[in-house]
Amino acid sequence: MAEEIKREEHVISEGLKDLVIERLEILPSDLKFFIGSDGKELSKKDLIDSVKRGDDVGQQVVEMEMSFLRALKDGVLLEEILSSEQ
Amino acid sequence: MKNNLLVTRPENDCATYYLSKWSEKVIKEAQNKGVRIIDLWRNKANRKRFIGTVIKSNPKLLFLNGHGDSDIVGGHNQEAILTIKDKNVVSCKIIYARSCRSGKILGNVLAAQGVVTYLGYKENFWLGYRLEKISKPLEDERAALFLEPSNYVILSLLKGHSAKDANSKSKALFAKNIEKLLIAGPTDENYGYRAALYWDMMNQVCLGNQNATF
């Protein structure tokens, strides 16, 4: 897993894609986002398709999910939450 | 004499409509505080008018809403209204750009060349929304998870907090919203937005003078 994460900035491994897609699959079907310089409207299906293709949006989704998981694992997010309560 | 606040609010697609409507909350609060507002709304958020107004009215704080990229902030119909070549026009200003990626290059260049402080995002700003609320953005509690924390950058500056504190307090609201979703758990319909909230929080930057105040 560590090696896969190191490589995510360049080529997203199939294992990492699968992990992120599994996480996306359990989300509600009405998931919607605006992003980007052109205000793209993205659905859950769009996100999953982008991850499968490995395009710019897909790479960013992987990066987003992995940075969130790292923040949870390393306690960084907990620190942010605790400091927000001060 | 009260300082001026200039707001750009393009409305040429659903995303900019959301940002524009949520900026109304900031405008209302600023008006309550007696701040003079210069509101460049819809087609008034064009480059010519923006540059001319900044020169003529000399607002201290610029709140820019719109699409963006690493080297520009966009206005109505995605016209680039702020670019690196405008460094002299916006020098001595505090800028908060609620747009994608302008904190990556544009913000750094401007903050190094005369802008007092540049607050923005190094990466895409992800905004969750509810399709049923697309015509009533202010009733969209999903968008509120993202836009209340980001609105707080300006609201905090209006309270007299430093740019650094405005950034921290805004991030604290993002963290609060993530905490609420984590506590609510996977059955909460907004649970899937926690990673995007963390992304926006982590990519929100405050460049230049951290102690600047409005």
Range of the domain at B193: 4-203
* Number of structural domains in chain B: 1
In the predicted model, residues of chain B with pLDDT beneath 70 are: 1-2
- pLDDT band at residue A10 using 50, 70 and 90 as cut-offs: low
Is B179 contained in some domain?
yes
Q: What is the pLDDT of residue B208?
A: 98
| Closest to A1 measured CA to CA, from A50, A60, A61, A73 | A73
Q: What is the pLDDT of residue A11?
A: 73
Is the backbone of residue B53 left (phi > 0), alpha (psi -120 to 50) or beta?
A: alpha
Q: What residue spans define the domains of chain A?
A: 2-84
Angstroms from A82 CA to nearest CA on chain B: 9
Cβ of A26 and B130 within 8 Å?
no
pTM for this one? Answer: 0.94
Contact status, residue B3 vs residue B35, Cβ threshold 8 Å = yes
Interface probe for A, chosen from B152, B169, B199, B204 (most Cβ of A below 10 Å), is B199
Supply the DSSP string of B96-149, one letter for each residue: EEESSSTTTTHHHHHHHTT-SEEEEESS---EE--GGGTT-GGG-HHHHHHHHH
pLDDT digits (tens, 9 = 90+) for A11-59: 788 999 999 999 999 888 999 999 977 788 999 999 999 999 999 999 9
Query: Which residues of B fall within a CB distance of 8 Å from A30?
Result: 130-131, 189
Both tokens of A75, joined, read: 């306690």
Is B210 contained in some domain?
no
Put simply, whether A46 touches B (Cβ < 8 Å) is no
Q: Fill in the DSSP letter of residue A72.
A: H
Q: What is the pLDDT of residue A1?
A: 45
Closest chain A CA to residue B72? A37
Q: What is the pLDDT of residue A12?
A: 80
Q: What is the pLDDT of residue A18?
A: 95
- Contact pairs from chain A to chain B, CB under 8 Å: 92
Contact status, residue B212 vs residue B116, Cβ threshold 8 Å = yes
Instruction: Using only the alpha carbons of chain B, give its radius of gyration.
Output: 16
Is B104 contained in some domain?
yes
Q: Domain holding B195: CATH number? A: 3.40.50.1460
Angstroms from A63 CA to nearest CA on chain B: 9
Whether the pLDDT of residue A3 is over 70: the answer is no
Q: What is the pLDDT of residue B1?
A: 54
Is B196 contained in some domain?
yes
